[in-house]
């Protein structure tokens, strides 16, 4: 088990925050390297307007998480804005990022579909890196397992029904591996697409398939009855991706 924070004199470094920062940086770096392919000006990457998708994704991701655990946060409202211990819902983050990218397209008069195509591999890369934050904070794991790669979860972080189990499926690593593979696939395919929006459409399709599958191993996500909310959102995103891919329109 890795300590979630490191103290350096009077400063405390939260590893979760560091991992999120690294995911943002490497996603930004990948997008900057690919920008010319989509005729996106390099100066955009030094523009403060890029704060929009970042800020909105964090806010929306936190809101998604708070709604997911609404009963807990109504009892502990002071913890709503405290994200150093984790608690960012990826679907909320993606919605916030999309709104931010849409605003950038409007403000800078850029093609929205081209921006989404540019952002898609970076989003996947950021998601792959960010999943390691779940390991640091011991969240987002699966059910107990006796498999050799099961990860140790401390007593206080175990679900009530599994207090006597100490090793669980590392679903965060499963998803990180799947996302990393999808990044490679998406980068290869993006060079062949001619129609704007195709790369983003395939991103929605691939990620939705991966997330829908991983949800079968998750034990901590929101449900409506017996239906997992994340799987419903995955199905919707998959359909949107397919429709975008089949659409004959090239407008942004």
- Please tell me the predicted confidence (pLDDT) of residue 121: 97
Give the β-pairing of 11-14 and 5-8. antiparallel
Q: Could you tell me the two tokens for 234?
A: 């995955």
Cα 147 from Cα 18, distance rounded (Å): 30
3-state secondary structure 133-197: HHHHHCCCCCCECCCCCCEECCHHHCCHHHCCCCEECCHHHHHHHHHHHHHHHHHHHHCCCCCCC
Stated as kind and residue range, the H or E segment containing 6 is: strand 5-8
Which of 22, 157, 142 lies closest to 85, judged by CA? Answer: 157
- Please tell me the predicted confidence (pLDDT) of residue 252: 46
Residues of the chain whose pLDDT is less than 50? 252
Cα 59 from Cα 150, distance rounded (Å): 32
Whether residue 104 is contained in a domain is answered as yes
CA atoms within 13 A on the CB side of 41: 9
32-37 contacts at long range (C-beta below 8 A, 24 or more positions apart): 34/118, 34/121, 34/190, 35/118, 37/118, 37/190, 37/191
Give the number of domains in the chain.
1
Whether residue 4 is contained in a domain is answered as no
Whether residue 2 is contained in a domain is answered as no
CB 12 within 8 A of CB 6: yes
Domain boundaries, position 165: 12-246
- Please tell me the predicted confidence (pLDDT) of residue 90: 84
Whether residue 51 is contained in a domain is answered as yes
CB 19 within 8 A of CB 136: yes
Stated as kind and residue range, the H or E segment containing 219 is: none
- Please tell me the predicted confidence (pLDDT) of residue 1: 64
Question: Is there a binding annotation on residue 131?
Answer: yes
List beta partners, residue 223: 228
């Amino acid at each position: 088990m890795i300590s979630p924070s490191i103290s350096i004199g009077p400063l405390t470094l939260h590893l979760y925050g560091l991992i999120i920062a690294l995911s943002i940086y490497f996603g930004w770096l990948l997008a900057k390297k690919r920008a010319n392919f989509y005729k996106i000006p390099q100066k955009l990457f030094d523009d403060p307007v890029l704060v929009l998708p970042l800020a909105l994704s964090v806010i929306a991701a936190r809101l998604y998480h708070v709604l997911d655990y609404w009963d807990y946060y109504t009892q502990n409202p002071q913890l709503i804005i405290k994200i150093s211990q984790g608690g960012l819902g990826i679907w909320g983050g993606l919605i916030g990022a999309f709104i931010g990218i849409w605003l950038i397209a409007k403000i800078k008069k850029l093609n929205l579909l081209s921006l989404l195509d540019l952002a898609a591999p970076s989003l996947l890369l950021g998601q792959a890196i960010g999943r390691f934050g779940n390991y640091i904070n011991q969240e987002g794991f699966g059910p107990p397992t006796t498999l050799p790669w099961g990860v140790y979860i401390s007593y206080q972080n175990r679900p009530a029904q599994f207090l006597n189990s100490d090793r669980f499926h590392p679903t965060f690593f499963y998803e990180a591996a799947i996302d990393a593979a999808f990044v490679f696939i998406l980068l290869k395919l993006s060079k062949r697409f001619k129609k704007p929006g195709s790369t983003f459409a395939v991103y929605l399709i691939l990620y939705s398939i991966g997330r829908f599958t991983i949800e079968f191993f998750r034990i901590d996500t929101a449900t409506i009855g017996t239906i997992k909310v994340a799987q419903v959102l995955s199905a919707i995103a998959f359909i949107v991706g397919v429709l975008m891919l089949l659409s004959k329109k090239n407008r942004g």
